[in-house]
Every structure is written in C-alpha cells, then in structure tokens.
Structure 1
Amino acid sequence: MASGSVERESPVARPGGVSVGDLVAAVPRRLVEEAVDACGLDGPVPDGELPLHLTAYVVMALCLLPGEPVEDVAQTVVAELSRPDGVRGVAPGPLTASGIGRARRRLGPDVLRETFSLLATASSDWVVLGDRSRYAFATFGAAARIGVAQCWRVPPQVPLPVLEVLRDGSYLSVLIDPDLTACERAKCLLEAWSGVKPDPDAAHTVRVVEDGDADRLVTTLRDPEEVTAAELADAHRQWRRQSATDGGPCSALRGPGGVRSTDPDLVHQEIWAHLLVEYAVNSTTWA
C-alpha cells in the first residue's frame, strides 16, 4: 500500500488474510458500545474527533497491522466501517497522528478491557491460546484477573517451581511477575507454598503441562478432570501447526516493538487490544 492511500474495496490485511473487516466482524460494535457505556464515556464527541467506537477499532487495527503508519491504519478502519456491509460510524475530520493520540487518551485503558470481558462472558467455552514469542506476564495477568481461561507456551527462562504434582503428570506452579524484586518474588513463592492465594497483580497459581523436553504450557485450567494434560498439549500443537501453515494466530501479534505507546494507560490499552486481535485472528482462522 502506498503511503497515505486506502483501497476501500480491499482493506489492508495481515499475511494469512486477516483483515480489518475480519476484526470488525469478530468484535461486534454492539459490545464495544456496551463497554463505552459501562465505562461512563458515552458523552458527545468533540467536533472533528474520532468517535470512541472508531477509536477502539483503530487501536485494535494498530495491533493487527504493526508495520503500518498510524494515519494509514486509521484511514483503513474508517473506510471499512463506511462500507455498505460494514459498521457505520460518524465521519471524523482529517486523521492525523496527533488527533488519533487525543482520541486514544479519551478512550483510555478500560473500554477495551471491558470489551474483552464482554466477549469472554459471551463465549463461556473460549480458551485463549498463546505462544512464547508473544508471552508477557502483564498480558497473561490481565486476562486472568477477569477469569478468562488461557493456555500459553512459555519461554524456557520463565521459572515454574513445582507446588503439587497432579495425577496426569501435570503440576501446579506459581507464575510470578518478573519485574518484582528478588525479595518480593521470594515472598510470592513462600505464600504459594503455604497455600495462600497470591495477589493477582504479582502472581498467579497455574497448571503446567510439559510437552516434550523444552515445551511447557501454562494454563489457568487447573483441574485434570476438566481437561487432561494430553488434551491440552494436542490442542496447542494443532493450533501451532495451523498457525505455521497459514500465518494465523501465532503470527498475528508479532510486530516490531510489541507496543507502540510509552504512556502507561495507552500501554494497558494496547495489551487489551492485542488480546482482542488474538481472538479475532483465531475466529477467522478456525471459522
């Protein structure tokens, strides 16, 4: 795509065919607007500014298309939402990086978090799958705090001490924020050993499935009666094979730099956007 240009009939897509249109289909505007209302942000839109539902899709599209300039991504979103079969929105003024930044600050970190929570509530059997190239404690913790089921293949350097071995060979462990001090991490480990429920901002009790010599899966699904270690390992391998074949979920969030923002609120905003994009890419790939 040439800089500044948008082809309305062919929205920009990631390799593997996941487009902004797929994103809009997977994350319905109805849920985004419910999230805006729940966060008390349903007031009038300043003249010439992006409406909040459009801003939400722009942030998600920035995660879907990490190599694209901000203005081009925003233009693509506006074009897609203006299509006859798309989700109509209020046409904003000229789209500039500064204007998009203002809109993102108005949106804040909570709307996309609430949107993700609404999606999770609507999909009770939904399990987030993630790979080690995109694993981060903050991302895992953000979803865990709202009760979303997850299963991630984690990097080999992530410490996972054995707390209790389960009957299917998996074991319970504690996932601790690596940014804590050594003393804070030691305290979390001692609490886990003693059976104290960890502070969710600092640590999470998880189940670990060892799949081969190097691969370890970390999941919030802790009951082997609900899903066995073998079933989790098989499902995750199948997901990775599909991803390697068609550029699907595993590659969807791989972008230079991970997040674009430095402001803490906008970083949290992008974390939730990444999780929503992961959902959208999985929905498109496995549809």
Structure 2
Amino acid sequence: MEYVALGKSNLLVSRTAFGAMSLDCPEINSCGAEAEEKACAIVHQAYSGGMNFFDTSRSKPECEQRLGAALHGIRHNVILATKTAAQSVQELRSDLQESLQALNTDFIDLYQLENPSVLAQKDGRDGIYNELCSLRDRGVIRHFGIASENLDLAEEAIKSGLYETVQFPFNMISSENTLSLVKMCDENDIGCIAMQPLNGGIVSNVPLALGFLHQYENVVPVWGVHTQEELHQILYFNDHPPVIDEEFKSEVEKIRCFFN
C-alpha cells in the first residue's frame, strides 16, 4: 500500500481509502444479528490490507457506530474522517458530539462540511467557519474540508484557501471540468478525495477504474465496500495495478465515450 500526504495537511493516508458509508448496505444487513460482526470483519480486512484512511458521515449514524466499534483497539493507527450537513454552529456542535460518541473517539482527524448550499467563510454570519477553526485549535478536530457534488462550490473552496481538502465525485467517466478541478487541487496543494470511484456502480471494471485513478498521484479515492470479496478485489488491484499502456488508454476512452 502506498501512502501520500493529503494536500497541505500533515495527514499521511493510504492511496486507497475505505468508504464506511456502505457499512449499512443490504449485503451486510442481510446478515441479520451478525451484521455488525460482518461490518467489523470488512473493516479489519481493509486495515490488514494497509488501508489507514476511513471516511464516513453523520448522515449515516449506523455506519458511524459500526465503524467506531470495528476500530476499537486500532483507532490510534488510522486517519478517521466524518462529515456534517450542519447549517448552524449549534447543529455543528451537536453533530460533532454525536459523531465522537458513535465513533468512540476523542477527536476527528478530518471533519468535512457535507454538501453545503453556500461555502462557509471566515467571519461569516453563520459562524460555521470560525467554529471549525476553534474546534481545530482545541484539538477536537485536526483538519477540515468540504465534501460536495457542486463543481462551482468545490472550485470556490479551492480558490478561497480556507479548506485543506475537497471531496468530489471523480472517476474514469468524469467530465473535463472535473479533471480541471483535480488539477486545481494539485496546483493549490489541496487534498483531493475522490468519492464514487465506480460512479455509483455504473462502472463495473474495478482494475480499469483503479488504474485510471492511480494516474493522479494527488487523488485519494474512497471506495464504498459491500462485501469482503469486493474488498479483496480492490486490495488486489491496488497492489497489482494494470499497466497504463495504449491498450489500457483505449479501453478507458471507449468507456468514457460511451457514457459521455
């Protein structure tokens, strides 16, 4: 497993990250009373495979809880990220306390504003940005960024210089505008976290998808995992990435043209 610095933060994360927002998926919940045990087994498999970056959200409380239980005893060895959709300081504080309790931790390594309608600004009227700074100063969170599917807002966050990371959908069928956003992150030393590396399941070729993302050294894809078999495949092709040759590029281009 390779590890890279996440932008200008001092977080050294695995280039293949674990998306824990799938820990309540039907494949896991079908295990019934053993669902939590199954979720724990998947998280431990990821950790044993070298993944040290785990991302979740307050919008998925069961996933936070299952991830927190699974990380018991190894929390100090991982980078833990979660998100809040809070629209006020009061909501942010409430969300953070609930996340800390669910994840069974005293601090969050990376706290992200999730799909905000407007970008929180320094000394803004809502007070959210200043509250994030205060929480960072107190050590409750170590770093903060945004997670958004709005291209304009993501670009605004990068240009503002106020955020350390941007999480945005990025995969092999993404538009040229998204490719420009990835480049902008690199140029501004902003951590670039790729959500939806399989575009919500539209892309099924894991080695091709992973190989495409590996071309961008500043990008850390977050893989939502549903089964141990799926995780095994992701870890295998992370350790044995496809050769980026003309044949590979041709296959990627065929898929891009089909969807675009």
Fold-level similarity (TM above 0.5) = no
Query: What TM-score do the two structures reach when normalised by structure 1?
Result: 0.30
Query: What TM-score do the two structures reach when normalised by structure 2?
Result: 0.32
